[in-house]
Structure 1
Amino acid sequence: MTSVQTAPAPTKRPVRQLLAASVGNAVEWYDWYAYTFLATYIAAEIFPPGAGSSLVPLLSTFAVFAVGFFMRPVGGLLMGAVADRHGRRTALTVTILLMGGSSLLVGLTPSYATAGLAAPAVLVLARLLQGLSVGGEFAASTTFLVESAAPGRRGLFSSFQYVSTTAGQLLASGVATLLVDTLAPDAMHGWGWRVPFLLGAVLALTGFWIRRGAQETRSDSGRQAPRPGLLEALRRHPRESLLICGITAGGTLAYYTWTSYLPTYAELNAGVDTSDALLAGTLSLAFFGLLQPLGGLLSDRVGRRPLLLAFGLGFALLAVPLLHALRDSFAVLLLVQCAGMVLLTGFTSISAAVNAEIFPPWVRAAGIGFPYSLTVALFGGTAPYVGTLFKDLGRSGLFPWYVSVVCLLSTLVYLRLPETARTDLER
C-alpha cells in the first residue's frame, strides 16, 4: 500500500480536468449501453434468422456483447500501460478515439442481407474495439481524476467517475427511446438503430477536443522514471492486484444487479410490468447519479473505510430482504432500487480514489485497470446470467443470497484496508 509522499501542486484548471474526464467517460458509456438498448434491432439486421427459433439472432447479439465485456481486462492492461508510460492524457485521447471509431463502425455495419457473414464479422470487430476502449477508459480516467484533485478533494473528484457513467447510460436510454417512439418500425429497423452510434462518433470527437486541452497529471519525476513493463504491476505488486479484486467483487456485482438487471429481475420474479420496471430503473439511475458527489464529499470528511463498510455490510444484510420485498408494484420497486442506490454509493462514489491510493504512480493505471476490469467481467458482467440461471433452475431465491455473500466477502477486505483519505497521494 502506498503511503505519504509530498504531492506536487494540484492542477490549476480543476473544472477543465473534471470536464475532460467526465465528458469522455460519458461518451464511452453512452456508446457501450446504446448497443444493449438496441440489441433487438441489431439482431434482426446483422444476424441470419435461426432455424426454428426467433431467439437465435438475439442470442447471437448478446454473445457479441459478452465478447466486448471480456475484452475489457485486455483494454485495462494495454491502455493502463499507455497511461503509465506516455501519460494519462495520451491514454485518454486514445481510448476516446477507439470508442468513436468503433461506434462509427457499428453504425456503418452492413446488414446480413447485403454482406452475408461479413456483417457479423464487422460487428464483432467493433465490439472488440469497444471493449478494449471501455477497459482502458477506467484505468486512465481513474488515475487522471484522482491525480487532478486538490488535497482533501480526491473523494469528490473520484465520484465523477460514476456521475459520468450514469449520464452516459441515461443519454443512451433517452436517445434510443426517442427514436423508437418517433420512427416507424420499418424505419427503425432499416436505419434508425444506426443513428445513436453515428451520434456517438460525433460526441467522441467533441470529447477528444476537450481532452486534448487537459493538463497532464503525471509528475515530472513520474515522466523520468523507467517505463514499466506490461505486467510490471502484477509482477511487483501481486498483493495490491488481489486487493483490487477483493475491493471490486462485491461492488461490481451489486452495481450491475441494481443498475442493469433489477428491472428484468422484477419482471421475472415479481411480475412487474415492463414499462413500470424500465421507468423505475431510469428514475433510480438519475437519483444514483445525484448521490455520487455527496458520497465523495462525505468520504473526504470521514474517510473511505466507513463508506465501504456501510456499503458492504448494508448489502450483506439487506440484499436478501430488499430483493424478496419486490412485488407487482411500481412504488415498491422504486423504493427497493433507491434504497440499494443509497447503499451502493458507499462503493461507487469512492472506488476510483480507493484504487488509485493503492498503487504507486509509475504502475497506477495498469495496476488498477487489469484486476478491476477482470473482476467486473467475472462478477458484474455475469450478474444477469447468474440471476437468470437460478430462475431457470427453479431456485431464483438463491440469487439474493449470492449477492449478499459476495458483498460480505468484500466487506472482510474493507476491514483490513488502512485509511488513506488524509494521506498525500504519491505522484
Structure 2
Amino acid sequence: MNPRLKSIIGGSTGNLVEWYDWYAYSAFTLYFAPHFFPAEDRTAQLLSAAAVFAVGFIMRPIGAWIMGVYADRHGRKAGLTLSVTLMCAGSFLIAIIPGYETIGVLAPALLVLARLMQGLSVGGEYGASATYLSEMAGKDRRGFFSSFQYVTLIAGQLVALLVLLVLQSTMSEAALDDWGWRIPFAIGGVLAIVVFRIRRGLAETESFKKSEGPKSGFWTLVTQHPRETATVMLLTAGGTLAFYAYSIYMQKFLVNTSGFDREVASRINAATLFVFMCLQPIAGGLSDKIGRKPLMVAFGILGVLATYPIFATLESVRNPVIAGLLVMAALVIVTGYTSINAVVKAELFPANIRALGVALPYALANTLFGGTAEFVALKFKDAGWERGFYWYVTGMIAVSLVVYLKMRDTRETSRISED
C-alpha cells in the first residue's frame, strides 16, 4: 500500500474510535440519564445530561492548548497517541460508574470527571488529526483526503448509533435501561486500546520534520497570528452549531418534540448520518477543483434561509420518511462546512504552530456554540419558546457567512508547502 495512503487510513481509523467514544454519550443519553439524574420528567433529565455533555466541552480548549502545543513540538503522531489514551480511560470509567441510587451524588460527579477526561482528549484530537491528514495529503487532493477527518468523525457517531440499534433489537428495553447502556462505553475503551497500538506505528509528516520558527505556544499564536486565530473561531461558530443542531440534538428533537419513539428517531438519525458521511469526500474533492470558499458560502446562504423552516416543519411531521428527508436536507447544507473545515484551518497556519492554530480557536468556538447546542435548545423548550433556538442557529450561521464572504480562498493561499 502507498505509504501516504496507509498513514491517512491509520490516522482516520483512530479518529473514528475517538469520536465513537465521544458520541456514545449522546446516543445513549435517553437510557442512562435516569440513572444519574433522577427527575420527574424527561426534559429535566435530558437537560441535566446535556449540561454534563456541555461540561466536557469546557475541557476541549484546555486539551486543544496542551496537546496542540505538544503536537507542534513533539510531532503529530505523539499528539494523536496521547489523545486516545485519555479517551480510553474516560470510556472505561463511564462503563463502571454505579448509579445515583447506589452512590448518590458521587455518580454524576464521576460522570463529569469522565467527560472532562474525554473533553481533554477530543480537544487535542481535532487539531492533531486535522493537521496530520492535511499535511499527509498531496496538494491536488488535500481537500479530498482531509475530508476523511469528518468522515471518521461522522462514522464514529454512526457506529455509536448502530451499536444502539443492535442493542435495541437484541435486548429488552428493561435490560437496556437497566445495564445495557454500559456496553457501548466498554466497547469504546477496548477499541481505544487497539487504536493506541495503531497510532504508535504511524509515520510522521514532512511538514513537522521541516518546520521552522518560534516554538508553538499561546502567546506566539495570539501575537503573531491574531487574524488567522479570529478567522478560525468565527468560521467555526456557525458551522459547528449547525452540525450539532442537525445531528447530535436532532435525535432528541425527534423524540421530545416531533413525538417519534426512541427506536424510530435512532433509525432516522443513523440513515441520514450515513448519507451525510458519504457526501464528505465528494464535497472535499469538489473543493480541490473549485476552491474552498464557494462551498462555505453555499453553506452560509442556505443555512440562513433553510434552518428555521426545516425545524419548524419537523415539529408537526409524523411520517418518518418525510422527517428523514428534512433532516437530510439540513445535513446536505452543512456539508459545505464540515467537508473542508479541517483543511481550511490547517492551510491558514505555518507548520511550527499549525496544530495549535487549528485546535485552540476551533475548540473555543466549539465549546461556546457546539457543546452548548443541546443545552440551549432544551432551555428554549423549557422556557416555552422552542423556536427561539431555530433563530439562534440561523443567526450564528449568518455571522460565519460574513467571514466566508470576506476571507481569501485557502486553496490558493495555502501555507502547507509540502506536496
**2:385 pairs with one of 376, 392, 395:** 395
Listed as ranges, the matches of 1:9-158 within 5 Å are 13-46=3-36, 49=38, 59-112=47-100, 114-158=102-146
Q: Name the CA distance, whole Å, in 1 between partners of 2:86 and 2:190.
A: 13
CA drift at 1:276: 3.6
Q: Which residue of 1 aligns with 2:287?
A: 299
Aligned residue for 1:246, secondary structure, equals: helix
For 2:118, give the aligned amino acid. Q
CA drift at 1:129: 0.5
**2:169 pairs with one of 170, 173, 181:** 181
Q: Which residue of 2 aligns with 1:379?
A: 369
CA drift at 1:274: 4.6
For 1:207, give the aligned amino acid. V
Check the 8 A contact 1:110/1:119 in 2, yes or no. Answer: yes
For 1:369, give the aligned amino acid. A
Q: Name the CA distance, whole Å, in 2 between partners of 1:330 and 1:56.
A: 26
Listed as ranges, the matches of 1:211-360 within 5 Å are 211-217=199-205, 218-222=207-211, 225-272=213-260, 274-326=262-314, 327-360=317-350
Aligned residue for 1:325, secondary structure, equals: helix
For 1:292, give the aligned amino acid. Q
Moved more, 174-183 or 354-363: 174-183
Q: Which residue of 2 aligns with 1:408?
A: 398
CA drift at 1:357: 0.8
Q: Name the CA distance, whole Å, in 1 between partners of 2:375 and 2:50.
A: 11
Aligned residue for 2:411, secondary structure, equals: coil
Moved more, 272-281 or 134-143: 272-281
For 2:411, give the aligned amino acid. A
CA drift at 1:314: 1.0
TM-score normalised over the length of structure 1: 0.89
Q: Does 1:168 align with 2:148?
A: no
Aligned residue for 2:210, secondary structure, equals: helix
> Across the two proteins, how many residue pairs are aligned to each other?
414
CA drift at 1:209: 1.6
| Higher helix fraction (1 or 2) | 2
Q: Name the CA distance, whole Å, in 1 between partners of 2:261 and 2:104.
A: 37
For 1:156, give the aligned amino acid. F
- Structure-2 change in CA distance of 1:269 and 1:259 (3 Å): same
Q: Which residue of 2 aligns with 1:4?
A: none
Moved over 6 A (4+): 52-57
CA drift at 1:389: 3.0
Q: Name the CA distance, whole Å, in 2 between partners of 1:391 and 1:111.
A: 27
Q: Which residue of 1 aligns with 2:190?
A: 202
- Structure-2 change in CA distance of 1:219 and 1:70 (3 Å): closer
Check the 8 A contact 1:315/1:404 in 2, yes or no. Answer: yes
Percent identity over the alignment is 45
Check the 8 A contact 2:43/2:378 in 1, yes or no. Answer: no
For 1:133, give the aligned amino acid. S
- Structure-2 change in CA distance of 1:178 and 1:245 (3 Å): same
TM-score normalised over the length of structure 2: 0.90
- Structure-2 change in CA distance of 1:317 and 1:233 (3 Å): same
Check the 8 A contact 1:288/1:341 in 2, yes or no. Answer: yes
Aligned residue for 1:216, secondary structure, equals: coil
For 2:193, give the aligned amino acid. L
Moved more, 158-167 or 115-124: 115-124
Q: Structure 1 stretches of 5 or more lacking a match?
A: 1-10
1:115-157 alpha-carbon deviations (Å, 9 max, x no partner): 5554443332211110100111001101001000011111011
- Structure-2 change in CA distance of 1:209 and 1:399 (3 Å): same
CA drift at 1:92: 0.2
Check the 8 A contact 1:79/1:91 in 2, yes or no. Answer: yes
- Structure-2 change in CA distance of 1:201 and 1:318 (3 Å): same
Moved more, 171-180 or 373-382: 171-180
Check the 8 A contact 1:234/1:367 in 2, yes or no. Answer: no
Q: Name the CA distance, whole Å, in 1 between partners of 2:384 and 2:41.
A: 23
